[in-house]
Amino acid sequence: MSPLNLQIRTFKRFLHRVHKGRSLVELNLLMMLMADTFSKPAGGSQPGSGEPQGSGWFRTFTIAAYKPYFDVDTSDIIDRLKESLFPFRGTFTEKTATNPDLYGPFWICTTLIFVAASIGTFVTYIAHKLKKKEWDYDINLVTWSAGVFYGYVTVVPLILYVILKYFSAPSGLVQLFCLYGYSLFVFIPALCLSVVPLEIFRWVIAGVAGFMSATFVALNLKAHINSAGERWFLIVTGIFLLQLALAVVLKLYLFTVTV
C-alpha cells in the first residue's frame, strides 16, 4: 500500500477514535503533521540539510522559504500548461503532487490580467470607433482584473483547504494554488478569441472555456477527495459552479459594451 494511502487510513482510524471521545489535542497534532507531509515535496524535508533555518515566524519573509516551490524548468512548465488544456485526463494532481510550483499560477494570473485589460480596452475602442464616438482609456480595467484574478486564485484555494481539512481529506495548500493557477490558463486563448464582435460567439467561447476550466479543477479534485466520504460530490459540484461563475463574470464585465 502506498505511503499516502497508509497515512490516510491511519488518519481515518484516529479520527474514528477521537470521535469516540478521545483527546482533541492529539487530533490537532496529527492534523498538523499530516498537513506538513502533504504540503512539501517528499524528499525535501530532511533535518540538517545544511541551510540555517532561522526563527519560526519570519522565515515566511525569506526567499529561501519559497525556493522549493520554484524548482521547475521550462519544459516542466510547458508540460503542465499542456496538461491543463486537457481537462478530462485528471492526472494533473498526480504529476504535481511531489513538486507543486508557484511560478505557473503567479505568472498565468499576471498574464491574464494584462490580456484581460488589453482585450477589454481593445473591444471598447473598436466599438466606439465603429460608431464614431468619443473614447477614453479606462484604467479601472487593469485594477479591477488584477483584483479579480489574484483574489480568486488566493482566496478560493484557501477556503477549499479549510473545507477539505474539516472533511478529513487534507490536501496541501500549495497543490491547491497550483491547481487553480493552471486552471486559469485556458482563459488566455479564450479572451484572445473573444475579440470577434459576435455576441453569440463570445458567449460560446466563454461557456466552453468556463466548462473546460471547471472540469479540470473538478476532475482533478475528485480523484483526490474520493476518500472523504459522503460530501465529496457537493464539494466538487460547488467548485465546478464557482469556476463557471468566474467565466460568466469575466464575459459580462469585459465584453459588455455600452456605446
Partner 1 sequence: MALRDWDLWGPFFFIVFLGLTLSWSASVKKSEVFAVAFALLAAGAVILTLNVLLLGGHIVFFQSLSLLGYCLFPLDVGALICMMENNVILKMIVVCVTLAWSSWAAYPFMSSAVNLSRKALALYPVFLMYVSVGFLTIAID
Which residues here bind partner 1, judged by CB under 8 A?
63, 66-67, 69-75, 77, 103, 107, 110-111, 114, 118, 121, 125, 136-137, 139-140, 142-143
Give yes or no for a contact between 224 and 122, defined as CB atoms under 8 angstroms apart: no
> Which run of H or E residues covers position 232?
helix 232-255
Torsion region of 258: left, alpha or beta (phi above 0 gives left; psi -120 to 50 gives alpha): beta
Closer residue to partner 1, CB minimum distance, 107 or 166: 107
Q: For the CB of residue 113, give the shortest distance to partner 1 in the complex, in Å.
A: 9
Q: For the CB of residue 210, give the shortest distance to partner 1 in the complex, in Å.
A: 24
Q: For the CB of residue 74, give the shortest distance to partner 1 in the complex, in Å.
A: 5
C-alpha distances in Å from residue 222, one per residue of 96, 179, 214, 216, 234: 15, 12, 12, 10, 11
Of the candidates 111, 119, 133, the one whose C-alpha atom is nearest the C-alpha of residue 258 is: 133
Closer residue to partner 1, CB minimum distance, 87 or 120: 120
Q: For the CB of residue 198, give the shortest distance to partner 1 in the complex, in Å.
A: 24
Closer residue to partner 1, CB minimum distance, 126 or 163: 126
Closer residue to partner 1, CB minimum distance, 66 or 233: 66
Q: For the CB of residue 143, give the shortest distance to partner 1 in the complex, in Å.
A: 7
Of the candidates 189, 195, 191, the one whose C-alpha atom is nearest the C-alpha of residue 124 is: 195
Task: In the chain, count H helices and then E strands.
Answer: 10, 0
Q: For the CB of residue 195, give the shortest distance to partner 1 in the complex, in Å.
A: 14
Q: For the CB of residue 70, give the shortest distance to partner 1 in the complex, in Å.
A: 4
Closer residue to partner 1, CB minimum distance, 6 or 139: 139
Closer residue to partner 1, CB minimum distance, 102 or 242: 102
Query: Per this entry, what is the length of the chain?
Result: 259
Torsion region of 136: left, alpha or beta (phi above 0 gives left; psi -120 to 50 gives alpha): beta
Contacts 24+ apart (CB under 8 A), 157-165: 160/235, 160/239, 163/235, 164/225, 164/228, 164/235, 165/31, 165/35
**Whole-number Å distance between alpha carbons of 128 and 6:** 62
Closer residue to partner 1, CB minimum distance, 7 or 118: 118
